[in-house]
Amino acid sequence: MIDPTNYFKSLTTFGKIVFGVFILIFVILAFMFVRDLFVGSKDVEAKLGTEQAGAAIESGSEAVTTLGENQREEDDINDEVSEGQSQVNEAKDATGAQNAFRDALCRNNGVCDDD
Q: What is the pTM of this model?
A: 0.45
Task: Write the secondary structure of the chain as one string of H (helix), E (strand) and C (coil).
Answer: CCCHHHHHHHCCHHHHHHHHHHHHHHHHHHHHHHHHHHCCCHHHHHHHHHHHHHHHHHHHHHHHHHHHHHHHHHHHHHHHHHHHHHHHHHCCCHHHHHHHHHHHHHHHHCCCCCC
**Residue extents of the structural domains in the chain:** 13-109
Per-residue model confidence (pLDDT) at position 26: 96
Residues in the chain, total: 115
pLDDT in tens, 41-53: 677 677 777 888 8
pLDDT in tens, 7-62: 778 888 888 899 899 999 999 999 988 887 777 667 767 777 788 888 888 888 88
pLDDT in tens, 77-99: 888 888 888 888 888 888 888 88
